[in-house]
């Protein structure tokens, strides 16, 4: 259980990230992000490696590996590629650009979905009994983090966030948001093609 508690502590530290961003405290974002990442990675690894296992058919483990690769890609894509990395995670202050396209047209917190699926993938691969307890707790902590961001931080950080809340669901995609998600990739492809032709 101690590793589950360490994982919870990693989220409690992460909850401070947006606070120090608004307060523009030098180097605090890097320190908090690093501490939360290290504790989260350590706790996940230790729970994954627990020896008490439950039975699962082999094909579910194979499915877990596929899901793991997809979720790692989507997490990095949503959290580090679609939003400005240096402004968001490294530089003092807030990343003040509101992203409403790509996976952020699907839901307002796509990282929560990818993280939850990542834990499911690790559960299928590891078959760790402790992961059966840890996964729902950590998913709850991540969802709580999203609600805290919505309530206290994002409306102050991003102009037009209230309108974005009306346009895009928080965590569960809708038919309309799925259409917006697919359309945004079409627009991005068209823009890239126009830029490529303009350079000729």
Bridge partner list, 128 = 53
At 72, give phi and psi (nearest 5°).
-60, -45
**Domains located in the chain, CATH noted:** 2-189 (1.20.120)
Q: HSE-up of 198 (CA within 13 Å, CB side)?
A: 6
Residues 138-164, mean pLDDT to the nearest whole number: 93
The pLDDT value given to residue 195: 47
CA 113-77-14 angle, to 5 degrees, is 60
Among 100, 80, 123, 122, which residue's Cα sits nearest to residue 169? 100
Among 100, 110, 81, 103, which residue's Cα sits nearest to residue 170? 110
Summarize pLDDT for 112-132 with one digit per residue, the tens: 999 999 999 999 999 999 999
Residues 125-152, mean pLDDT to the nearest whole number: 96
Query: Is it the case that residue 74 has pLDDT exceeding 80?
Result: yes
Summarize pLDDT for 91-109 with one digit per residue, the tens: 555 666 788 889 999 999 9
pTM for this prediction: 0.87
Of the listed ranges 50-59, 81-90, 161-170, 177-186, the least confidently predicted one is 81-90
Residue 52 CA: distances (Å) to CA of 44, 47, 67, 130:
15, 10, 23, 8
Q: HSE-up of 177 (CA within 13 Å, CB side)?
A: 20
Indicate the pLDDT class of residue 20, thresholds 50, 70 and 90.
confident
Q: How far is 39 from 98, CA to CA, in rounded Å?
A: 29
């Amino acid at each position: 259980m101690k590793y589950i508690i360490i994982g919870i502590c990693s989220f409690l530290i992460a909850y401070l990230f947006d606070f120090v961003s608004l307060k523009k405290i030098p180097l605090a974002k890097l320190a908090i992000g690093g501490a939360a990442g290290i504790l989260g990675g350590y706790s996940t690894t230790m729970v994954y490696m627990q020896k008490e296992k439950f039975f699962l058919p082999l094909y579910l483990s194979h499915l877990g590996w596929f899901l793991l690769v997809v979720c790692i890609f989507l997490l990095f894509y949503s959290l580090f590629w679609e939003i400005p990395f240096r402004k968001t995670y490294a530089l003092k202050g807030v990343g003040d650009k509101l992203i409403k396209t790509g996976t952020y047209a699907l839901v307002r917190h796509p990282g929560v979905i990818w993280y939850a699926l990542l834990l499911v993938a690790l559960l299928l691969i590891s078959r760790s009994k402790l992961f059966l307890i840890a996964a729902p707790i950590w998913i709850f902590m991540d969802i709580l983090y999203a609600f805290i961001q919505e309530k206290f931080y994002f409306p102050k950080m991003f102009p037009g966030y209230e309108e974005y809340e009306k346009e895009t669901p928080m965590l569960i995609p809708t038919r309309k948001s799925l259409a917006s998600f697919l359309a945004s990739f079409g627009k991005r492809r068209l823009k890239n093609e126009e830029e490529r032709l303009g350079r000729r």
